[in-house]
Amino acid sequence: YIHGGAWRSGNKNGSLNRLLHYLKSGQYAGVSIGYRLSQHAKWPAQIHDCKAAIRWIKANAKKYGLDEERIAVHGTSAG
């Protein structure tokens, strides 16, 4: 999950409620991605952070019992 905030506000910790709907079934794992906000890092650093997080998820999927071929991205506003 990529949190909203127009790349300038918010954080990954506020995303749990949005993920719960999917996680309750037990068929999904959830990851909330943090990225550097625009006042701390110039665009497109935020996109680079999100892409790096997705690469990490794919590289470590088997370690957590996940299928690296079945990854979806969801978010609001910036996400």
Query: How far is the C-alpha of 73 from the C-alpha of 31, rounded, in Å?
Result: 9
Q: Are 13 and 7 in contact (CB under 8 A)?
A: no
For residues 45 and 72, which has the higher predicted lDDT (pLDDT)? 45
Residue in 35, 56, 79 with CA at minimum distance from that of residue 71: 56
Three-state secondary-structure class, residue 75 = strand
For residues 22 and 35, which has the higher predicted lDDT (pLDDT)? 35
This prediction has a pTM of 0.85
Number of domains in the chain: 1
Confidence at residue 76, expressed as pLDDT on a 0 to 100 scale: 83
Structure-block tokens of residue 7:
């790349």
Task: List pLDDT tens digits, range 24-53.
Answer: 888 888 888 999 999 999 999 999 999 999
Any idea which residue has 């110039």 for tokens? Answer: 42
Structure-block tokens of residue 22:
């999917």
Confidence at residue 79, expressed as pLDDT on a 0 to 100 scale: 60
Confidence at residue 14, expressed as pLDDT on a 0 to 100 scale: 75
